[in-house]
Amino acid sequence: MNKRILAALLAFLTLTGSASADVLTDGQRDFDWELGTWHTDVRVLADPLSETEDQWLTFSGTSVVRPLLDRRSNVVELKVSGSAGRIEGLNMRLYEPQAKRWSLTFVNIRDGLLTPSVYGGFHDGAGEFYGDDQLGGRPIKVRFLIRRQGTDRATFEQAFSPDGGATWETNWIAVDRRH
């Protein structure tokens, strides 16, 4: 093989290898571990940020995570049910390469509305995402945490803050186990 061709091929392979490494370390593949079907147990606080006694509703079902756009985006299809009824929804996740962060937007199938997105990413294996929303007409902060617990288990937790993030009340806990 010609030395010039060999040098060009090696340069191409080196560039391709480093570009792939950049993609892997910049956050675009943060959710690859979650692709597939999961058994999901969900606990939902019935009346968040209220003065009433905490009542938790329980649901069980599946979450299916599918990649989109070369894994720079994905969608979670959630279907759970319990004595309080059913929850069906989608969580759309989109990677923003300029900001090196993810946006997570929940779609409730019951009312067909998008919730305001939460934004963030993964640090030391845990995902942290924050955003603004409203509850009962008053502004709140939203925090969404993702904790991997090995290859076949993860916990997802949502909390609301009525005081700008000084205090948080957890209102959604989902535990996923790989099918």
DSSP string, 97-109: TTTTEEEEEEEET
CA R_g for the chain: 20
At 25 the pLDDT is 60
Average pLDDT over residues 130-139: 96
Assigned CATH class of 31-178:
mainly beta
Write down the pLDDT at residue 22.
Answer: 46
Higher-confidence position of 78 and 7: 78
The predicted pLDDT at position 152 comes to 96
Residue 69 is given by DSSP the state G
**0.95 exceeded by the pTM?**
no
Q: pLDDT for 138-158, tens place per residue?
A: 999 999 999 999 999 999 999
What Å distances lie between residue 95 and 38, 71, 92, 99, 146, CA to CA? 22, 9, 10, 9, 16
Least Cα distance to 58 among 27, 80, 25, 82 occurs for 82
Domain coordinates of the chain in residue numbers? Answer: 1-26, 31-178
